Structure 1
């Protein structure tokens, strides 16, 4: 590509992205596409919708909505959500070029690959300060668009170089409940990545060593990066991405699953102990949530919902549930602590244990992970639940499942948004 013997990390990644996409990866991408569509539809019921509705471009509106319900797909090792970044960029590129449905799916597979591999190369220091869905998201969106634009490896490297140079997104948004910037992080990564690929297509060269260079992304944002994650062996990483059945932060899901496994009545009285890994507490130890966003990031609220209402529904993280006296009373009985066994297994496995009423239940992998997958009925139920939450009629789920062209997908979003 460059005529230089020394290959950069982005050049190695671009070479991997150039592999043919097989039928199983395309089929998996189709599942993730439907999952993202449901999240977008459900997002119409969120506080972000009036902001998104003011955007003139259809796919910008979609990009702002895909993450707001906390039901978007997640890669555990990368600790990021590829779907809400990759799909708006891929669809935008496909709309722009008139690409086929297969080209759309191939571009998404490559976008997931780039975003996940980079996310896995970033370290704990990065995750403590930076939102990987935003930082690595630039790479995912750029790679998806580059694939659909038909860029060669050199121009794909340029697009990734632009992505690394401009990537950002700070976690301070978690500490200010009124801020909608988390949704902006996701949309900006999708839109910027698309632009990076457009610029590369037009001939704007990007830095080859943007990751490992002395003033590159690893030096600026990490302490112990794992560059081998960019080029290690294995199939398409999209097969390793998890789906989320509950409308809460993924770090809360193992706690929900463990609480649901307890015998009836175990949560009815007395102290409740939640044990999980450190990041689950760092992100979700929220004893008194005040907003829907805080409730979605509260282990205490998640357990209380299970105790009072059973399997959590989207409404259980809304204001009426937050102020429900019965739920508040249970929240006050929940104590959270980290446990070494879960810390050791994390982030390859998201686990938790709940002890209450003389009983204990634990999970080592959350429902929706490859080790505990959603079945076809679970995927279908989630799609219908999300569309109903967004105020859409049931037949729209069937239309989404039947869509087999870029035009059909865009027509869906025109009706929905």
Structure 2
């Protein structure tokens, strides 16, 4: 009888982590800090300021608010907002340095992506993969920072996964449930690791068991890939403040605009999930607009850059006429390439991959500029953006990052 999947996964997390892996993790840390900074003045943040939470704990709610958080395509999830908050909270427990946090993040991304990529279409139709795979990743990240042994780490992942959830119904109603999903995934994973360090045991077959996660939520789960390299290198950065399913058409629109060829009417052809999630010709709220292919095209056609201010109620009202010029349909060939490739065609111009993907990477300068842009949107002065860049890209002090978040959000 083969060993439980979580045991096999945890053993792969003990592989060496190189300076190249840590350098990649630093970029994702800065990217997450940028997303947190930009969300400081959102309605979600205003709710959090009424709660008795520290800055680092509040940050765990905010990394995905602007829809600019990093994303793994085939796993269909956003690791950054879940992993970093859990790793930093664990670091505070044991006074860990930043290298320990970076290593924990690399392992957390690995566990979260591996499990998320094993979910099938039935799962994604009803469950928010960031919420269902997230607790596993947060437990792996926190457990690494806390120095858990193999048995403890298996217990942490199994207990975190045993209470996983996150229904997509929240997409159909106004509310802050998506941020609740992210925060609970990080919190549950961290606490599962903390309790495992105190001796709490778990159920290792929580994935594949007869009443486990796969049986409950999947029709045909995919194999758990255990022999890949560190998968943080597969994660995409998001340049624009919209749902990732809208990014391919934004990229097409920018290319056409640069060529002087972005003219109405606008014909969008893309993959089925992009339409299922983002076919919203008449968005009402800011969240609706971020999940609207029609609004995404209108934003770029109007000369804007798909920044947070381009999805506000004011922008929604101003761009109504342009949205009415956009038609949306599925192209089955593009759907067949998904989710390994998020592509789109706009007025005949097709892009298979999108800026920020590993095939079309952005460099450190782009992430630093994102930090500056979002810090300004969140009401922070330029020196705070520089502070974040220095701590994330050059520093070795995890406590200094916790202090930064306290200053921003405390």
TM-score band, normalised by the shorter chain? over 0.9
Query: What's 2:181 paired with?
Result: 185
1:153-164 aligned at under 5 Å gives the runs 153-164=150-161
Quick check: 1:260–1:310 contact (8 Å CA) kept in 2?
no
Query: What's 1:286 paired with?
Result: 280
Query: What's 2:371 paired with?
Result: 383
Residue 397 (structure 1) aligned with residue 397 (structure 2): no
1:15-414 aligned at under 5 Å gives the runs 15-55=11-51, 56-177=53-174, 179-229=175-225, 231=226, 233-262=227-256, 266-269=261-264, 271-324=265-318, 327-355=319-347, 360-403=348-391, 404=395, 405-414=397-406
Q: Give the structure-2-normalised TM-score.
A: 0.96
Per-residue deviation, 1:265? 5.4
**Other structure's SS at 1:107 match:** helix
Q: Distance in 2 between matches of 1:308 and 1:281?
A: 22
Distance 1:228 1:65, change over 3 A: closer
Per-residue CA deviation, residues 188-231 of structure 1 (Å, 9 max, x unaligned), is 100110111111111111101000000000000111101332x2
Q: Distance in 2 between matches of 1:267 and 1:329?
A: 15
CA-based RMSD of the aligned residues comes to 1.1
Per-residue CA deviation, residues 11-62 of structure 1 (Å, 9 max, x unaligned), is 0000011112111111100000000001011011321111122232222210
Per-residue CA deviation, residues 375-411 of structure 1 (Å, 9 max, x unaligned), is 2221111110010010000011211122121121012
Gaps of 5+ in 2: none
**Other structure's SS at 1:353 match:** strand
Per-residue CA deviation, residues 166-193 of structure 1 (Å, 9 max, x unaligned), is 000000000002x101001000100110
Q: Distance in 2 between matches of 1:379 and 1:152?
A: 35
Q: Distance in 1 between matches of 2:155 and 2:29?
A: 27
Quick check: 2:271–2:330 contact (8 Å CA) kept in 1?
yes
Gaps of 5+ in 1: none
- Stretch deviating more after TM superposition (47-56 or 243-252): 47-56
Q: Distance in 2 between matches of 1:304 and 1:245?
A: 17
